[in-house]
Amino acid sequence: METTISTKGQIVIPAEIRTEDEIMPGQRFEVERIDRGEYRLVRKEDVPNAGLVDWLVACPVHDYFVPIESESTDEL
C-alpha cells in the first residue's frame, strides 16, 4: 500500500491496515530508522494500569481513601 506524508509531517496509515490491526486514535508508535529512506513503525504496548493512580486521585468523592489501621509488620 502507498500513503503520503502531509505538510505537517504526518503519515496516514491506510484504513484497511488500521481496521485489520485494530489501530485506534491516540495509540503510540516508535519510528525506527533502518537506513536512509527506510523506516519501520513499531506499535508501543500500553503499560498495564497506566494512568490508574491519576484516575484514582481524581476521584470526586473526597476522603474516599482512608488509612487502614493495622499492626506494624515489625511486631509480627
Name the fold adopted by 1-66.
Pemi-like Protein 1; Chain: D (2.10.260)
Q: Given pLDDT bands bounded at 50, 70 and 90, which one contains residue 21?
A: very high
Domain residue ranges in the chain: 1-66
Query: 37 or 64, which is more confident?
Result: 37
Mean residue pLDDT of the chain comes to 84
pLDDT tens per residue, range 25-61: 988 999 999 999 999 999 988 777 777 877 777 777 6
The predicted pLDDT at position 76 comes to: 60
- HEC string of the chain equals CCCCECCCCCECCCHHHHHHCCCCCCCCEEEEEEECCEEEEEECCCCCCCCHHHHHHCCCCCCCCCCCCCCCHHHC
- What does the radius of gyration of the chain's CA atoms come to, in whole angstroms? 22
pTM, 2 dp? 0.53
The predicted pLDDT at position 38 comes to: 94
